[in-house]
A = this chain, B = another copy of it.
Amino acid sequence: MNDTNDAALAALARTWLDTLFAPWVKALDLQVESVRAGRAVLRLPFAPELCREGGTICGQALMAAADTAMVLAVSAQLGEFRPTTTVSLNTAFMRPVAEGDVRIVAQLLKPGRTLMFGEIEMYGADGKLAAHATTTYAMV
């Protein structure tokens, strides 16, 4: 996969993000940083609308960002969007994020014809791991 292809995949990923996800998910305003086969890096902009009492980004937003990033990583692996089902998503919350954007790194751990396994790391602006998720996707 060369740089030209990766730029094309990133452009494609922006289209997927615009057209395939629920309006409520699009309200997260996720930004595509980079995409290649089996991998997607997004940025979740810090916003008061995403903060719970106490001023930290709510876990609900992190889980939603993780799932979204993995759908893009899976689609980038396939080279196109195909209907898939999230079978499971397990998230561990490690550090609160009280300011700054969150970097979402979704990586396929094992591609497959029927099942795909992946991992998502979520980093605070300080570069520290804020949350970690693992997922299983099924091809429909």
Interface residues of A (CB under 8 A from B): 19-25, 27-28, 47-54, 57-61, 63-64, 67-68, 83, 85-96, 109-110, 114-115, 117, 119, 129, 132, 134, 136, 138
**Main secondary structure on A side of the interface with B:** mixed
B91 touches A88 (CB 8 A): yes
Which of chain B's residues has its CB closest to A89's CB?
A: B91
B58 touches A63 (CB 8 A): no
B67 touches A59 (CB 8 A): yes
- B residues in contact with A58, CB < 8 Å: 21-22, 24-25
Nearest CB of B to A18, in Å: 11
How many angstroms between the C-alpha atoms of A92 and B89 in the bound complex? 7
A92 touches B22 (CB 8 A): no
